[in-house]
Amino acid sequence: MNYEMSRIYRDIIDEVCRSLESDATELYFDSNTIADLKKTWTQKLKGYIEKGMVEDNTPKFYGHIPLKGFMTRGNAGAHNVNSPNKNLPECEDSSEEQELENMYNNNMICLYEKVSKTKNKWRCTFKHGFINLGNRDYAFNSAIGELEW
Domain extent listing, the chain? 3-51, 104-149
The residue among 9, 7, 2, 33 whose CA lies nearest residue 20 is 33
What dotted CATH number matches 104-149? Answer: 2.30.18.10
Q: Rounded to two decimals, what is the model's pTM?
A: 0.33
Pairing mode of beta strands 121-133, 107-118: antiparallel
Instruction: State the CATH architecture for 3-51.
Output: Orthogonal Bundle (1.10)
- Find which of 14-18, 88-92, 98-102 is predicted with most confidence, using mean pLDDT: 14-18
* CATH topology agreement for domains 3-51 and 104-149: no
What pLDDT is stored for residue 67 in this prediction? 55
Average pLDDT (10-15) is 87
Task: Give CA–CA dist 146/124, Å, rounded.
Answer: 6
Q: What is the mean pLDDT of the chain?
A: 73
